[in-house]
Amino acid sequence: MRPLDRTTWTLTWRLTRAGGRTGLLATGLAVAAAAVSTTLLLLCVAMNLGFQHRTDRTDWRNPVESSRPVAVQAMGTTFTRGEPVTVVDVAQLPGRTAPALPGLDRFPAPGELWVSPALGDLLDRLPADRHPVPGTPTGTLGRAALAHPGDLVAVIGHRATDPAVTAERAPDPRRIGDIASPTRVASFTGTPLTDGMGGMYTLLARLATVLVIVPLLVLAASAARLSVSRRDQRLAALRLIGATPGRIAGLTAAEALLTGTAGALLGAVGYGLLLPVAASLPLAGGAWYSADLWIGGLPLLAVMAGVVALVVSSALAGLRQVVVGPLGVARRSRSRGASVVRAVVFVAVVAVYGWVTREYGSADVVALFAFAAVFLALAVIGPWVVRMLGRIVTALAKRPATLLAGRRLLDDPKAAWRIVSGLTLAGFVAGFFALLTVDSAPPWGGRPDQLAIAAPAHKVGQTRTQAEQRLHAAGVSAVVGVDDGFVATSPYDSRQITATISGGTAELDRARTALTGLTPDQYPLTTTDVNWSENRFTQDFTTITRVVLVVTFTVAITSAGITAAANVLDRRRTYALLHLAGTPLRVLDTARSRETLIPLTVLAGGALATGLLCGGSMTLAGGDSSLDARGLTVLAVCCAVGVGGILAAGGLSRPLLRSVTRYAGVRGE
């Protein structure tokens, strides 16, 4: 007999259909949990791949010097309405044939202006005196040249002798990826930026994925256990009529396979449906191309298979604890231990994390793995902490509810851990994000309404006069000056020409347009422009933090609710008999809530502290680790949501407790 033969499938299907209202509810919850897990996992993978796709498509802007060049390429970044506009200047070298640029079907001829669709729309809407790039667009750049649909990019064709492709540009370490000095290139494949915000986004996406995946796995596992909890009676009945343990395991695996597959399929459909919604979420400068968030067939199948495997293995693990004998009596003779080795492993992993972040830096992929290991190590130490708490609570218990809670924690620490594990992990996330701050880059002098442009020291007077003339011609009222500030930089000995503009953003942009080309190696910029990528990352960091916190807490509270319900079902006969013998429901309920709240308080507190510790060793985008008002708010809100959530989860299973104590049969059959 094979565990998954035709009889097993027939029986499974029959039992699933005939499970009654409670059975259908449990099956539905298991399917829903697997579906939600699949959808969110797929979205996490999609976000990671999406950032990678974006980076891949912007590599061409970062030119690579070649010994056999065919063209010259330079890049600069100007701004319009506070948004960056990437301007790529290209020229074919005499006698050479340059290949087409990404997003174009030919190399731009001198004087041609090719713009991204978003920039084209903007140019159509803006008056000419506010255009960030001069000229009339020749055509539109294709998707292959753009990071995202809202990307503002211009490609300008030049002659090889034009100043735009000959004048050296100063690489500004504050503006990585904004400027590329004219470079002789053989192709337009470019190279990935090794530094800058792109890497930070990738790191943030990976962190967010790690932080979301673990609670999702907990959710899928807890849902699978819920199915098993209600199955014990009928599986015991099957044992009684001669079904072998292999058949029982087969039935369990088959049902989990059905629910897991149904959930994974629904999750994949959910992912497909949510793709446009996720694509509309503006991150790193704009919404996404939906295709960037499509992870592909094989990865999709891999994630689905992973979820199904997790559901099946969790169900089998749960089965091992539920049905032991034909009479359906769990003959447990000793506590399900949680060895001290778990504590040792946890401490070791945290120590390794500290060492790794010191040795490799927090942005290194090794640090990310170490971080993930700390997160997982919480799941290792959890049951041990619960067991220790059980000992303490049992020793100190004076009232029956506390004694019941303590003994329960001591007897089956893993069961209690399963209820609070999601929120414990969420506590870690909250602690991590509370401390992990991304400081805005420091101001570089100047003012937000003051444009600066660097001029060679020996031509300051001349450049200043030209600036005044240009502004006057454009009808812009500005105070022009010269200083030694360092908003604008140059590769030569220079001073800074400044133009302070009154009249808001529109006037600033008109001034910017007027001053563009004043020096061929740079675009005028304000102090705010220098920090644009840091400021954008800070905003995106906040968005991602909120999304991760909402997802982890929602998933954790859902897991807690499902596990609490599963625990009531697991113990329904004992609860029923205790109640029949006069134990007030209040006592049973208090014991239940204590066996949750006591470990939650300690574990979530500990996890929060661990999160703070990990956040303390990690820096992002030049940010440091300090607990500010934002961090305190994050902590306070998360604590309130966590405690409220666990109370609500317990409260929601109270009717189930009432129901099982009312209707459960007195006898075992």
Partner 1 sequence: MNTTSAVLTGAGLFKSYGMARALAGVDIDVTAGESLAVMGPSGSGKSTLLHCLAGIERPDSGEVLLDGKRIDQLREPARSELRRTAFGFVFQSGQLLPELPADENVALPLMLGGTARRAAVEQARQWFGPLGLQGMEDRRPGQLSGGQAQRVAIARALVGRPKVIFADEPTGALDQATGMEVIHLLTEVSRSHGAALVVVTHDANVARWCDRTVHVRDGRLAADRTAAEAGTDAKAGYRR
If one asks whether residue 332 binds partner 1 (CB under 8 A), the answer comes out as yes
> Applying CB under 8 A, which of residues 408, 464, 512, 536 lies at the interface with partner 1?
408
Interacting span for partner 1 (CB under 8 A) from 149-157, 210-218, 333-341, 648-656: 333-341
Q: Which of 176, 215, 320, 80 is nearest to 558 (CA)?
A: 215
Pairwise CA distance, residues 145 & 255, whole Å: 48
Q: Which is nearer to partner 1, 324 or 482 (CB)?
A: 324
If one asks whether residue 239 binds partner 1 (CB under 8 A), the answer comes out as no
If one asks whether residue 392 binds partner 1 (CB under 8 A), the answer comes out as no
Q: How far is the CB of 32 from partner 1 (least distance, A)?
A: 31
Interacting span for partner 1 (CB under 8 A) from 88-96, 396-404, 441-449, 619-627: 396-404
> Going by C-beta distance under 8 Å and a sequence separation of 6 or more, which residues neighbour residue 601?
none
Q: What are the residues facing 42 on neighbouring strands?
A: none
Q: Which is nearer to partner 1, 356 or 393 (CB)?
A: 393
> Going by C-beta distance under 8 Å and a sequence separation of 6 or more, which residues neighbour residue 576?
660, 661, 663, 664, 665, 666
For 130, 259, 478, 510, the CA distances from 475, given in Å and listed in that order, are: 12, 70, 9, 9
Pairwise CA distance, residues 23 & 227, whole Å: 8
Q: Which is nearer to partner 1, 167 or 587 (CB)?
A: 587
Helix, strand, coil percentages, rounded to 5, for the chain = 60, 10, 30
- In single-letter form, the type of residue at position 629 comes to A
Within 484-503, the residues that bind partner 1 by CB under 8 A are none
If one asks whether residue 331 binds partner 1 (CB under 8 A), the answer comes out as yes
Q: Evaluate whether 76 touches 163 at the Cβ level (below 8 Å).
A: no
Q: What are the residues facing 75 on neighbouring strands?
A: 88, 180
Q: How far is the CB of 238 from partner 1 (least distance, A)?
A: 19
> Going by C-beta distance under 8 Å and a sequence separation of 6 or more, which residues neighbour residue 79?
85, 132, 509, 512, 523, 525, 526, 529, 532
If one asks whether residue 64 binds partner 1 (CB under 8 A), the answer comes out as no
> Applying CB under 8 A, which of residues 376, 587, 602, 643 lies at the interface with partner 1?
587
Q: Which is nearer to partner 1, 449 or 595 (CB)?
A: 595
Q: How far is the CB of 584 from partner 1 (least distance, A)?
A: 5
Q: Which is nearer to partner 1, 337 or 475 (CB)?
A: 337
If one asks whether residue 462 binds partner 1 (CB under 8 A), the answer comes out as no
If one asks whether residue 327 binds partner 1 (CB under 8 A), the answer comes out as yes
If one asks whether residue 330 binds partner 1 (CB under 8 A), the answer comes out as yes
Q: How far is the CB of 397 from partner 1 (least distance, A)?
A: 7
If one asks whether residue 194 binds partner 1 (CB under 8 A), the answer comes out as no
Q: Which is nearer to partner 1, 376 or 587 (CB)?
A: 587
Q: How far is the CB of 640 from partner 1 (least distance, A)?
A: 32
Q: How many residues bind partner 1 (CB under 8 A)?
A: 34
Location of structure tokens 């565990």: 3
Q: How far is the CB of 352 from partner 1 (least distance, A)?
A: 36
Q: How far is the CB of 232 from partner 1 (least distance, A)?
A: 12
Q: Which of 548, 412, 565 is nearest to 33 (CA)?
A: 565
Chain Cα centroid distance, residue 296:
19
Q: How far is the CB of 666 from partner 1 (least distance, A)?
A: 5
Q: Which is nearer to partner 1, 416 or 604 (CB)?
A: 416
For 104, 148, 272, 292, 620, the CA distances from 53, given in Å and listed in that order, are: 18, 10, 18, 6, 22
Q: What are the residues facing 87 on neighbouring strands?
A: 76, 154
Within 525-584, the residues that bind partner 1 by CB under 8 A are 573-574, 577-584
Q: Which is nearer to partner 1, 125 or 334 (CB)?
A: 334
Q: Which is nearer to partner 1, 134 or 325 (CB)?
A: 325
Interacting span for partner 1 (CB under 8 A) from 329-337, 366-374, 431-439, 475-483: 329-337
Q: Evaluate whether 229 touches 573 at the Cβ level (below 8 Å).
A: no
> Applying CB under 8 A, which of residues 403, 547, 602, 627 lies at the interface with partner 1?
403
E strands of 405-543, at which residues? 450-456, 478-483, 494-501
> Applying CB under 8 A, which of residues 407, 414, 459, 654 lies at the interface with partner 1?
407
- In single-letter form, the type of residue at position 141 comes to L
Q: Which is nearer to partner 1, 407 or 447 (CB)?
A: 407
Cβ neighbourhood burial of 297 (10 Å; 0-12, 13-18, 19+): exposed
Pairwise CA distance, residues 287 & 46, whole Å: 14
Pairing outcome for strands 153-158 and 478-483: unpaired
* Chain residues in the site for partner 1 (CB under 8 A): 327, 329-335, 397-400, 403-404, 407-408, 410-412, 573-574, 577-585, 587, 666-668
